[in-house]
């Protein structure tokens, strides 16, 4: 096995985002947390969890078109049991998004009834949208907003530059920048985030990342690798060997007949991220339960 990919990266704007979320929380009724359906555990920001623990939560499992459907179903159940409201979506095509507003209303039923009893039925319900970089937050916001314009508001107590979108049906949504946390305690979490493109490639050893990804897929979805890269029989366990095989099959050679591993790595990562290798889930709910 290759060594694990190490990522130590925490740009200053992440700390600023954390502050913005903390300051804006008292103004919202619930939080819609967007996570990546391929890595539902790694893409949940533990800091966001702690910050937002007092607010009702919708967890949007996004990019379901890229994830293993059977495993996504299990995650939906798992999240429901954990006390949050799950919704499986594909923001690129819009699949599942018609259920979002009804879900917000169901989640905040008591609050809406209370407002009505107090003669404040016109009071807007406010939802904060949060998630890690590249989880699809902009795609989600744009889909939900449709032709409605995002507006920056300077309300009392609201951090300047915060974006609010009126979705109609008495619901307003607040956008927040993508946020990561300072340290990935479990190196697998950092790796998963890098596989899925949530950590910028320029802070990572791309070849090592591609080798690790190939090792992972060879263990869990070997047939996808065989089909995509026309490989036969038993696959090697070593990522370096897998990468060399892929490069050779694709004719990515440099002078002397050696494989251009840099190019092969970029291809493997791109094909995984765009779903060309197959619908792959890198985490299962029982992995979380056993703490693996």
- Residues lying near ligand G4P in the complex (CB under 6 A): 62-63, 65-66, 90-92, 131, 133-139, 178, 275
Shortest spacing between CB 165 and ligand G4P, in angstroms: 14
Phi-psi region of 193 (alpha: psi -120 to 50; beta: other; left: phi over 0): alpha
The residue (of 131 and 239) whose beta carbon lies closer to ligand G4P is 131
The residue (of 92 and 249) whose beta carbon lies closer to ligand G4P is 92
The residue (of 62 and 162) whose beta carbon lies closer to ligand G4P is 62
Alpha carbons 225 and 211: distance in angstroms, whole number: 13
Shortest spacing between CB 248 and ligand G4P, in angstroms: 27
Return the bridge partners of 58, or none: 32, 85
The residue (of 90 and 283) whose beta carbon lies closer to ligand G4P is 90
Nearest Cα to Cα of residue 203 among 5, 7, 3: 7
Q: What are phi and psi of 86, to 5 degrees?
A: -85, 150
Shortest spacing between CB 140 and ligand G4P, in angstroms: 7
Beta strand extents in the chain (DSSP E only): 30-36, 57-62, 85-88, 125-131, 151-152, 163-168, 171-175
Alpha carbons 34 and 37: distance in angstroms, whole number: 9
Shortest spacing between CB 65 and ligand G4P, in angstroms: 5
Shortest spacing between CB 275 and ligand G4P, in angstroms: 6
Nearest Cα to Cα of residue 249 among 217, 280, 227, 279: 227
The order of strands in the sheet holding 57-62 is 85-88, 57-62, 30-36, 125-131, 171-175, 163-168, 151-152
CB-based closest residue to ligand G4P = 136
The residue (of 103 and 240) whose beta carbon lies closer to ligand G4P is 103
Q: Within 13 Å and on the Cβ side, how many CA atoms surround 58?
A: 25
- Chain-centre distance of CA 121, in angstroms? 34
Shortest spacing between CB 158 and ligand G4P, in angstroms: 20
Shortest spacing between CB 240 and ligand G4P, in angstroms: 27
Alpha carbons 24 and 170: distance in angstroms, whole number: 19
DSSP, collapsed to helix, strand or coil, labels residue 12 as helix
The residue (of 236 and 275) whose beta carbon lies closer to ligand G4P is 275
The residue (of 170 and 197) whose beta carbon lies closer to ligand G4P is 197
């Amino acid at each position: 096995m290759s060594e694990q990919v190490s990522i130590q990266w925490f740009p200053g704007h992440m700390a600023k985002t954390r502050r913005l979320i903390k300051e804006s929380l008292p103004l919202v009724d619930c939080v819609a947390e967007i996570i990546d359906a391929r890595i539902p555990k790694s893409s949940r920001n533990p800091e966001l969890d702690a910050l937002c623990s007092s607010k009702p939560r919708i967890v949007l499992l996004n990019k379901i078109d890229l994830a293993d459907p059977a495993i996504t179903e299990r995650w939906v159940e798992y999240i429901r049991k954990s006390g949050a409201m799950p919704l499986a979506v594909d923001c690129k095509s819009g699949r599942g998004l018609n259920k979002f507003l009804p879900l917000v209303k169901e989640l905040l039923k008591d609050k809406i009834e209370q407002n009505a009893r107090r003669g404040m039925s016109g009071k807007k319900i406010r939802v904060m949208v949060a998630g890690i970089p590249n989880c699809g937050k902009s795609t989600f916001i744009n889909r939900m907003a449709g032709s409605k314009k995002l507006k920056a508001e300077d309300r009392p107590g609201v951090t300047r530059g915060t974006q609010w979108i009126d979705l109609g049906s008495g619901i307003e949504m607040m956008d927040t920048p993508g946020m990561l946390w300072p340290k990935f305690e479990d190196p697998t979490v950092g790796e998963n985030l890098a596989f899925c493109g949530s950590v910028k490639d320029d802070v990572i050893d791309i070849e090592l990342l591609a080798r690790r990804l190939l090792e992972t897929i060879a263990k869990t979805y070997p047939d996808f690798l065989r089909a995509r890269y026309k490989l036969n029989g038993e696959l090697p366990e070593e990522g370096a060997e897998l990468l060399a095989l892929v490069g050779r099959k694709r004719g990515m050679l440099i002078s002397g007949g050696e494989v251009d591993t840099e190019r092969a790595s970029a291809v493997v990562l791109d094909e995984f991220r765009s779903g060309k290798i197959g619908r792959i889930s890198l985490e299962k709910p029982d992995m979380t339960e056993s703490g693996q």
